[in-house]
Amino acid sequence: MTIRVLIVDDQMMVREGFSVLLNAQPDIEVAGEAVDGHEAVSRSAELGPDVVLMDIRMPGLNGIDATRAILAADPGTKVLVLTTFDLDEYVYQALRAGASGFLLKDASARQLAEGVRVVAAGEALLAPTVTKRLIAEFARFGEGPKAPARERVGDLTERETEVLALIAQGLSNAEIAARLVVAESTIKTHVSRILVKLDLRDRTQAAIFAYEARLVVPS
């Protein structure tokens, strides 16, 4: 099944470069391009891409607000944030707006294609340690435990709460299974139930939720 991608960036060279790299993949097709957030929202509605590669810093409507608008119109769309710096303060805001992960603009062709595939599959992007470092850094800017998030933790079983905390620490399903001495398939089931109960999009959103509920406190 071909993954259809919309590339959003105000720099033509970036758009063209990513288009060439992604179109070279047998399972990925660039459905279109957009030069800013406003065009990203309209093109996403028109094309219905599986994944949107979204630049954060753009004139007019920025990538954060565009992400929020795109996902409000179609929650099934996956947004992969593009950034020049891996600890860009806007990245955390984009993740909270619903983006599924982030990718550096200088990523290799392999990293770019794999990132698109991972996000399209509904998983957190790239290595868990990368997501952990990013979220831990910017969770510092939160206002403290969010009451709604903390209350919703009560919907989880004790084991699901434990799994959620380990997700936020950056562990993969295999690593969580080893830590809890259970089968990996059991962890996959727990993760699926966590996402359904908390109405979360993917593992990245689950990690953010865990930090906001202060199940895990950034060190």
pLDDT given at position 201:
79
pLDDT given at position 146:
56
pLDDT in tens, 4-59: 999 999 999 989 999 999 999 999 999 999 999 999 999 999 999 999 999 988 88
| Residue bearing the bigger pLDDT, 94 or 145 | 94
Residues present in the chain in total:
219
Residues 48, 207: Cα–Cα separation, whole Å:
27
Q: What ranges do the domains of the chain cover?
A: 3-126, 139-212
Say how many C-beta atoms besides its own lie within 10 A of residue 179's C-beta: 14
Q: Is residue 147 pLDDT above 60, yes or no?
A: no
- The CATH class that applies to domain 3-126 reads alpha beta
Yes or no: say if 166 and 187 are a contact pair by the CB < 8 Å rule: no
Residues 178, 216: Cα–Cα separation, whole Å:
20
Tell me: domain 139-212, CATH 3.40.50.300, correct?
no
| Residue bearing the bigger pLDDT, 165 or 212 | 165
| Token output for 174 | 């295999």
Give the HSE-up count for residue 215: Cα atoms under 13 Å, Cβ half-sphere. Answer: 24
Amino acid found at 61: L
pLDDT given at position 127:
47
Q: Is residue 149 pLDDT above 70, yes or no?
A: no
Q: Is 7 helix (H, G, I), strand (E, B) or coil?
A: strand
Contacts of 78 (CB under 8 A, 6+ apart): 50, 51, 52, 100, 119, 120, 122
